Amino acid sequence: MADLLISVAGPGPRFAAVDDPADVIAWQEPATDAAGTRYLLMQSIGAPGVEAPFLYIVEQDVAATDEEELNRWYFEEHLPRLGAVPGVISARRYALVEGSGRKYLAAYRLERQEVFEGPDWMVARQTPWTATARLLFKNPQRKMRKII
């Protein structure tokens, strides 16, 4: 069973990439039997089930030898710190269970696009542990999306 389904034309709220409005995905929680990429929820901070105008997504793979350290950083420091930034409605982390995609996905629901890279966000992510953990990312992809 999956907690999140991402598809091109499936059910759920639709989000367009801010830098490419033609890049649209459907985001469905909980996942149904529709076709798409499925993820299992690993960690959730903030208001569950509250939709937001902006969705910032970070995806990455990680070497098997670094997986434990990357997961510990996300659970103990990174997601809690970013989830506490004013304007962040929720912060969630998922693991891929079916479909094509990177192994991990973090999703931040934001009240405003400016929350991302704002002063509080920057302070929350500028730690020594973050500097070393980000080196563990393989094939990272980051995308800001807006609900349509």
Rounded to an integer, what distance in angstroms lies between the CA atom of residue 140 and that of residue 102?
8
pTM (two decimals): 0.94
- Residue range of the domain that includes 106: 4-147
Domain count for the chain, please give it: 1
CATH code assigned at 116: 3.30.70.100
User: Could you give the maximum distance between any two Cα atoms of the chain, in Å?
Assistant: 42
Peptide bond into 53 cis (omega under 30): no
Question: Shortest CA distance to 70 belongs to which of 93, 44, 88, 48?
Answer: 93
pLDDT for 1: 62
Tell me which of 75 and 35 has the higher pLDDT: 75
- Mind listing the pLDDT tens digit for each residue in 77-129? 999 999 999 999 999 999 999 998 999 999 999 999 999 989 999 999 999 99
